[in-house]
Chains A and B, each alone.
Chain A
Amino acid sequence: MVETQRINRFTKRINRGELNTIAALKALSELPDSPGGPVLRSALYELNRLVGLDQVKEVVLEIKAYLEIQQKRAACGLRSSPQMLHMIFKGNPGTGKTTVARLLGQIFKGLGVLPRGHLVEVERADLVGEYIGQTAQKTREKLKDSRGGILFVDEAYSLGRGGEKDFGKEAIDVLVKGMEDWRSEFILVLAGYRLQMSQFVALNPGLSSRFPLQIDFPDYTVHELLAIADMMATERHYQWSPAARLRLERYLANKLLYQRPHFSNARLVRNILEKSLRRQALRLSRRENLSREDLVLIDRADLAVEDR
């Protein structure tokens, strides 16, 4: 059994005298989750629950299967080829990139690929400095924070703008060096809008080969956005009234038609919901004798959208 093998690996260390009682218990507490253990299970459950994103889910399952098979092969003495897991996420705002990256961290932790699996989310300003030398230092700092987990660079293409003199280039160089020096200790995810990311990769030929996994996050359909709205409301113990839902549907369809690509997808839905909840509260605060249903229902009048 894999579990016994995992334990044997460090009882060997005890027998060599490398671990005393406290050190051994600490090592035990840090041992990655057993395959199919709770961390992995709950992350996969969360991933599955996300609306749509079929292609994303498929890629994640492929990676998971590949890693599991590699572990089994290694256990049989077969050569296992380590997979480079650095990724590029392409998609418009609010299409779930950050959410998926966070779950991937948990999944990799569950599979024993990353010891911590946490997500460090940064953007250009966190990496790039104003004077010479500052960029390398800032970027290295973030690399260090993300060891054992995922470094997620949002709007990564902005590192490539501004030409040769720009410090963004320096940040890229430090990141690439980090990928080589700290192989298998962290995973780098570069995220951004589809078009800009494709240009960015094209302009930096070294990158494409280092990021074998490029995942597309398509815009959600109206139908999917409504399902997300339902899910977000239910999670918070609210419910859209049928009239509110219908109005929301019309509003989203319109936005989708006229505002792409500056349409913020699930984030827009979340903002509408959160604003609507405040409006509902205001409406209810003027009334007395509220029933459970009153407290749950979001009315058409609460819906925080402006009809034109």
Chain B
Amino acid sequence: MTRKIAVVGAPASGKTLFSINWCEYLGATRLYYYELNGTGRRKGTITPSEARKRMVSKGRSQPARTFIINQPGQSPSRLAITDTFSLLHKTILNAKERMQLSFTLKTLATTDIILNLVDLTCSDPHQVEFIAAVDRHLSEFSTRRAVHYRLLGNKIDLLKNRSKIPGWPVSGPLIPISVKTRAGFELLREKIF
């Protein structure tokens, strides 16, 4: 049995860094991955620090990938975390973006857990509106399907203090984390397992 987690969110919300750091936090030292970019697939094994160097966003158009780790003695013993293509706030998507969105939807439709990462430092009201709409639909979807859904407010290390967490119109409690410093991982682990 494999437990499937889908990590979704807007560009640069920290999906990739989260996926890598979460695997490492769970004790993995080598990550098996298969990657999907516009043109094809790639698979291999990589250490977390190498993955951070190579996969964390530096520019645009990041691939999606699934990391698979084994957790001996745990049930289920395998975890597959899919770091999806970023969700784009656009009226019209080009051909490649459509393919990417289709992939994200397929992932969402077959996953056990959905983690929606939002960047708490975002201050553009249009983007916040987009984030709230994404959250609303995902939360509705997950209630109907009895899928676990969590909304993660990322990058709290960049906020001066917790009182600076913005009061966005979202569906439920936002779990504050820093993917970079791993603050909040403990709490998250309790909440999703």
Partners in one complex: yes
The reply to whether A11 and B137 contact each other, CB–CB distance below 8 Å, is no
Q: Is the interface of B mostly helix, strand, loop or mixed?
A: helix
Q: Does any Cβ of B come within 8 Å of A223's Cβ?
A: no
The reply to whether B93 and A33 contact each other, CB–CB distance below 8 Å, is no
Given A11-B102, A11-B106, A14-B105: A25 in contact with B144 (beta carbons within 8 A): no
Size bin of chain B's contact surface? 20 to 34
Binds A, one of B66-74, B84-92, B155-163, B174-182: B84-92
Q: Does any Cβ of A come within 8 Å of B141's Cβ?
A: yes
Q: Does any Cβ of B come within 8 Å of A261's Cβ?
A: no
Chain A residues positioned under 8 Å from B145 (CB to CB): 33-34, 37-38
Chain A, residues 29-41, CB within 8 Å of chain B (1/0): the string is 1010110011100
Chain B residues positioned under 8 Å from A7 (CB to CB): 105-106, 109
Q: A25's closest neighbor in chain B, by CB? A: B137
Q: Does any Cβ of B come within 8 Å of A55's Cβ?
A: no
Binds B, one of A15-23, A230-238, A279-287: A15-23
Q: Does any Cβ of A come within 8 Å of B1's Cβ?
A: no
**Among residues 98 to 138 in chain B, which have CB atoms less than 8 Å away from a CB atom of chain A?**
98-99, 101-102, 105-106, 108-110, 130, 133-134, 137-138
Chain A residues positioned under 8 Å from B134 (CB to CB): 21-22, 25
The reply to whether B98 and A17 contact each other, CB–CB distance below 8 Å, is yes
Interface residues of A (CB under 8 A from B): 3-4, 6-7, 10-11, 14-15, 17, 19-22, 24-26, 28-29, 31, 33-34, 37-39
Q: B129's closest neighbor in chain A, by CB? A: A22
The reply to whether B137 and A22 contact each other, CB–CB distance below 8 Å, is yes
The reply to whether B91 and A20 contact each other, CB–CB distance below 8 Å, is yes
* Nearest CB of A to B29, in Å: 34
The reply to whether A15 and B98 contact each other, CB–CB distance below 8 Å, is yes
The reply to whether A29 and B138 contact each other, CB–CB distance below 8 Å, is yes
The reply to whether A29 and B106 contact each other, CB–CB distance below 8 Å, is no
Q: How far is the CA of A31 from the CA of B145 in the complex (A)?
A: 10
Question: Across chains A and B, which 10 residue pairs bring their CB atoms closest together, nearest first?
Answer: A11-B102, A25-B137, A29-B141, A29-B140, A38-B146, A29-B137, A7-B109, A14-B102, A21-B87, A22-B133
